């Protein structure tokens, strides 16, 4: 399953011109508001006809302007989770969930209501009305409803944007489960770096209607050139790790390609794959292995590149095992330490600086 | 109760109920279509259609009745054709009264439906389409249930209007007892003869009772439907 999009569209001040692929996994369409993300996802869904271009899903043409072909929305079989949920107010949660099933019946089998209810924790909500649900519950029902329509692909337009951080934290694990346990590719529109770091396997970066970067999430997020776009306080690389040990003093030890990482306790069993986002501003650099320091994570790294940022900052891209890390330090420090690409140095990360919400299933 | 109203009065009441029932039922499908077109579609002649629908509201009823007679009378453009092809005559028959009542009540029905349709969020219809529902299915499973309160209100308003229709009906199909003599026509007739005040007053009471009953039932139904639609 793979989606390929190559379209051009003018809409008001926006001149959209994008060309990208979305393979299996979660492909994040990332960009600030007004960069055309929703226009792209609506074009894929068929809610909008782009001026020019082609959209294909696994060889089937959904849209082709040169042949005047546009598959009707209801025939595309793409589950769309809208930012505002859009549950049917006159139907119960159960009726909302099975709404798409009757139309999907002829397309073979798919997940059952029970399976989806379990996956998304909806068992106790089935007989309620949408009006009696919280924002987070509504979004979970909307995701379940899309899944039960047996889509070939899921489209999610900022499904968490309307929720507060507690509700976001409540839904993120379900989205991770969706990513790790189903084969359905997901096109995920977001302007939140944290969400992208947690969920995306592939990232497509949109800027003013153009794709400026596209590729594997680890590579894009650890690209120093992304710092400006992500914002200096949001930029940070993602490490893939597994839970190695829980210590009685309340720390959890993770193992990854570059060594071990100590974090505040996480309620995950041994061997669980995890993704840890480490913000560039939380990483210190040192030439010598420091002693008598309170930070628990002192890791040997090699400098790949240095890049001037905005203001007095420099972003240093580091190789750590097979993973990459970003560190943001001042130009003055970089000069005093005479940092050069290829240098072997140490990266220092405070355990408590890693936010609980920045650790997710991997 | 049967002693209280004379046979002629019973006949008028029964006919009025029959005419109003059929006029409401038959107006609903075209009413929904026209209201949907006015609310959702962009097409040439939209304002003309809107004007035509509302015309009976503004024209003197006697003019509407006369125009109906000209077109649907036995020598009228459509009336002659109806009789020739289907052998159907509406002029001076109770079916003609249904037609007159339908035309007169149509603007009220369409107004209520149009407001209800405009209140339905098209985003919900889009969501239904992404879940695999074709247009007719979207209408049947999302739009129609959501406009139900408006539909009920419009239908009852139309029914009440049909019960009270007088000018167009008497002009188009006259005032034949048992055929076209509806409640208002019967009241009018009683008032023309000496000693007719008592039966006229009884029919007035009946009219008021039927109208109040219809309003109460519609209020109840609409409230129940609105609760459902609100999703609480």
Nearest of A233, A242, A203 to residue A355 by alpha carbon: A233
Q: Which residue has the tokens 């994570």?
A: A297
Contact A47 B126 (CB under 8 A): yes
Chain A residues contacting B via beta carbons under 8 Å: 45, 47, 72-80, 82, 84, 86-90, 99-100, 103-104, 129-132, 145-146, 149, 155
Is pLDDT at A322 greater than 60 in this prediction? Answer: yes
Distance CA A242, CA B180 (A): 86
Whether A231 is in a domain gets the answer no
Distance CA A205, CA A215 (A): 9
Distance CA B80, CA B44 (A): 31
Are the CB atoms for B231 and A129 separated by under 8 Å?
yes
Whether A229 is in a domain gets the answer no
CB contact burial A40-61 (16+ within 10 A = b; e otherwise): bbbbbbbbbebeebbbbbeeee
CATH number for position A142: 3.40.50.300
Sheet holding A273-279, edge to edge: A259-264, A251-256, A236-246, A273-279, A359-361
Number of domains in chain A: 2
Contact B231 A47 (CB under 8 A): no
Residue B3's pLDDT is what? Answer: 65
From A107, which residue of chain B is nearest by alpha-carbon distance?
A: B132
Within this chain, do residues A213 and A243 fall inside the same structural domain, yes or no? no
pLDDT digits (tens, 9 = 90+) for A142-176: 999 998 999 999 999 999 888 888 878 878 888 88
Whether A228 is in a domain gets the answer no
Enclosing domain of residue A188: 3-221
Whether A190 is in a domain gets the answer yes
Domain boundary among A194, A221, A248: A221
Residue A34's pLDDT is what? Answer: 84
Domain boundary among A192, A221, A250: A221
Write out residues 84-123 of B within 8 Å (CB-CB) of A. 121, 123
Alpha helices (H) in A57-107, listed in sequence order: 73-76, 93-97, 101-104
Alpha helices (H) in B139-196, listed in sequence order: 144-164, 167-173, 183-192
Distances from the Cα of A196 to the Cαs of A1, A189, A357, in angstroms? 21, 9, 12
Question: pLDDT > 70: what percent of chain A?
Answer: 99
Q: How many CB atoms lie within 10 A of CB A272?
A: 15
Sequence-ordered list of residues with C-beta below 8 angstroms from that of A39, at least 6 positions apart, any chain = A9, A11, A14, A16, A48
Alpha carbons within 13 A on the beta-carbon side of A55: 26
Query: What crossing angle do the helices spanning B144-164 and B197-230 adopt, rounded to 10°?
Result: 170
Contact B130 A129 (CB under 8 A): no
Distance CA A174, CA A163 (A): 15
- What ranges do the domains of chain B cover? 7-230
Beta-carbon contacts below 8 Å between A and B: 74
Tens place of pLDDT for every residue, chain B, 232 residues? 456 788 888 999 999 999 999 999 999 999 999 999 999 999 999 999 999 999 999 999 999 999 999 999 888 888 888 888 887 888 888 999 999 999 999 999 999 999 999 999 999 999 999 999 999 999 999 999 999 988 998 999 899 999 999 999 999 999 888 888 999 999 999 999 998 889 999 999 999 998 898 889 888 888 887 877 765 5
Within this chain, do residues A54 and A200 fall inside the same structural domain, yes or no? yes
Residue B33 near chain A (CB below 8 Å): no
Distance CA A282, CA A237 (A): 11
Distances from the Cα of A41 to the Cαs of A72, A360, B178, in angstroms? 15, 26, 64
Phi, psi (degrees; rounded to nearest 5) at A257: -60, -25
Within this chain, do residues A259 and A165 fall inside the same structural domain, yes or no? no
Sequence-ordered list of residues with C-beta below 8 angstroms from that of B142, at least 6 positions apart, any chain = A88, B120, B124, B125, B128, B133
pLDDT digits (tens, 9 = 90+) for A49-100: 999 999 999 889 999 999 999 999 999 999 999 998 899 999 999 999 999 9
Judging by beta carbons within 10 Å of its beta carbon (0-12, 13-18, 19+), is residue B65 exposed, middle or buried?
Answer: buried
Nearest of A345, A289, A358 to residue A317 by alpha carbon: A345
Nearest of A81, A76, A61, A79 to residue A4 by alpha carbon: A61
Phi, psi (degrees; rounded to nearest 5) at B194: -65, 140
Q: How many CB atoms lie within 10 A of CB A348?
A: 20
Residue A232's pLDDT is what? Answer: 80
Within this chain, do residues A82 and A191 fall inside the same structural domain, yes or no? yes
pLDDT digits (tens, 9 = 90+) for A86-143: 999 999 999 999 999 888 877 767 788 998 898 888 999 999 999 899 888 999 999 9
Residue B145 near chain A (CB below 8 Å): yes
Residue A12's pLDDT is what? Answer: 85
Nearest of B114, B94, B119 to residue B19 by alpha carbon: B94
A231 or A325: which leads in pLDDT: A325
Are the CB atoms for B182 and B207 separated by under 8 Å?
no
Within this chain, do residues A197 and A107 fall inside the same structural domain, yes or no? yes
Distance CA A37, CA A29 (A): 6
Are the CB atoms for A80 and B130 separated by under 8 Å?
yes
Whether A338 is in a domain gets the answer yes
Nearest of A22, A157, A274 to residue B127 by alpha carbon: A157
Distances from the Cα of B224 to the Cαs of A137, B229, B231, in angstroms? 26, 9, 11
User: Chain A residues with CB inside 8 Å of B232's CB?
Assistant: 129, 131-132
From B149, which residue of chain A is nearest by alpha-carbon distance?
A: A90
Tokens of B72: 């649907």
Phi, psi (degrees; rounded to nearest 5) at A122: -105, 5
Taking domain B7-230, whether its CATH number is 1.10.3720.10 is answered by yes
Nearest of B31, B229, B45 to residue B148 by alpha carbon: B229
Are the CB atoms for A27 and A38 separated by under 8 Å?
no
pLDDT band at A297, cuts 50/70/90?
very high
Alpha carbons within 13 A on the beta-carbon side of B4: 6
Q: B42 in helix, strand or coil?
A: coil
Whether A227 is in a domain gets the answer no
Closest Cα in chain B, distance from residue A47 (Å): 8
User: Chain A residues with CB inside 8 Å of B126's CB?
Assistant: 47, 73, 86
Per DSSP, A132 falls in state G
pLDDT band at A212, cuts 50/70/90?
very high
Task: Locate the DSSP E strands across B44-182.
Answer: none
Domain boundary among A198, A221, A244: A221
Residue B85's pLDDT is what? Answer: 85
Closest Cα in chain A, distance from residue B106 (Å): 27
- A256-261, Cβ contacts within 8 angstroms, sequence gap of 24 or more: A256/A321, A256/A323, A257/A320, A257/A321, A257/A322, A257/A323, A258/A299, A258/A300, A258/A301, A258/A320, A258/A321, A258/A322, A258/A323, A258/A325, A259/A299, A259/A300, A259/A320, A259/A321, A260/A297, A261/A297, A261/A299, A261/A349
Are the CB atoms for A163 and A136 separated by under 8 Å?
yes
> Partners of A239 in the beta sheet?
A276
Residue B224 near chain A (CB below 8 Å): no
């Amino acid at each position: 399953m793979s989606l390929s999009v190559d379209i051009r569209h003018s809409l008001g001040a926006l001149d959209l011109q994008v060309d990208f692929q979305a393979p299996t996994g979660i492909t994040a369409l990332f960009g600030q508001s007004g960069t055309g993300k929703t226009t792209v996802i609506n074009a894929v869904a068929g809610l909008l006809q782009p001026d020019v271009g082609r959209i294909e899903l696994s060889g089937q043409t959904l849209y082709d302007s040169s042949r005047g072909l546009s598959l009707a929305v209801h025939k595309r079989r793409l589950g769309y989770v809208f930012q505002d949920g859009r549950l049917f107010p006159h139907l119960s949660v159960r009726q909302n969930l099975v709404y798409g099933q009757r139309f999907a019946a002829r397309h073979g089998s798919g997940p059952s209501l029970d399976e989806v209810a379990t996956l998304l924790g909806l068992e106790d909500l089935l007989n309620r009305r949408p009006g009696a649900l919280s924002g987070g519950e509504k979004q979970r029902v909307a995701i379940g409803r899309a899944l039960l329509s047996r889509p070939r692909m899921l489209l999610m337009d900022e499904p968490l944007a309307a929720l507060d951080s507690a509700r976001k934290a409540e839904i993120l694990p379900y989205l991770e489960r969706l990513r790790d346990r189903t084969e359905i590719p997901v096109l995920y529109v977001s302007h939140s770096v944290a969400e992208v770091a947690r969920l995306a396997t592939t990232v497509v970066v949109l800027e003013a209607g153009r794709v400026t970067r596209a590729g594997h999430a680890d590579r894009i997020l650890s690209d120093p050139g992304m710092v400006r776009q992500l914002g200096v306080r949001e930029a940070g690389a993602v490490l893939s790790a597994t839970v190695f040990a829980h210590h009685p003093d309340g720390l959890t030890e993770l193992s990854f390609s570059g060594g071990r990482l100590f974090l505040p306790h996480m309620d995950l069993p041994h061997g669980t794959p995890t993704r840890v986002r480490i913000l560039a501003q939380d990483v210190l650099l040192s030439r010598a292995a420091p002693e008598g320091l309170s930070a628990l994570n002192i890791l040997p790294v090699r400098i790949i590149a240095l890049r001037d940022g905005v203001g007095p900052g420099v972003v240093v891209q580091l190789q750590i095992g097979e993973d990459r890390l970003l560190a943001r330090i001042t130009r003055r420090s970089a000069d005093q330490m005479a940092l050069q690409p290829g240098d072997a140095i140490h990266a220092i990360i405070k355990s408590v600086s890693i936010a609980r919400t920045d650790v997710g299933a991997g | 109760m049967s002693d209280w109203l004379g046979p002629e009065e019973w006949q008028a009441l029964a006919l009025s109920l029959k005419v109003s029932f059929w006029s409401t039922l038959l107006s609903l499908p075209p009413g929904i279509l026209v209201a949907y077109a006015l609310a959702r579609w962009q097409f040439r002649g939209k304002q003309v259609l809107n004007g035509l629908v509302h015309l009976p509201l503004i024209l003197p009823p006697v003019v509407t009745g006369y125009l109906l007679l000209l077109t649907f009378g036995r020598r009228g453009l459509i009336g002659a054709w109806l009789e020739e092809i289907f052998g159907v005559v509406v002029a001076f028959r109770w079916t003609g009264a249904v037609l007159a009542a339908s035309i007169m009540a149509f603007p009220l029905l369409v107004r209520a439906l149009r407001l209800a349709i405009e209140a339905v969020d098209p985003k919900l219809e889009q969501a239904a389409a992404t879940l695999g529902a074709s247009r007719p299915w979207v209408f049947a499973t999302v739009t129609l249930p959501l406009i139900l309160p408006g539909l009920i209100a419009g239908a009852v308003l139309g029914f009440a209007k049909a019960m009270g229709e007088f000018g167009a009906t008497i002009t188009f199909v006259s005032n034949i007892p048992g055929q076209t003599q509806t409640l208002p026509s019967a009241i009018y007739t009683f008032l023309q003869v000496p000693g007719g005040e008592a039966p006229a007053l009884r029919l007035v009471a009946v009219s008021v009772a039927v109208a109040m009953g219809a309003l109460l039932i519609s209020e109840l139904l609409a409230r129940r439907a609105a609760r459902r639609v609100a999703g609480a």
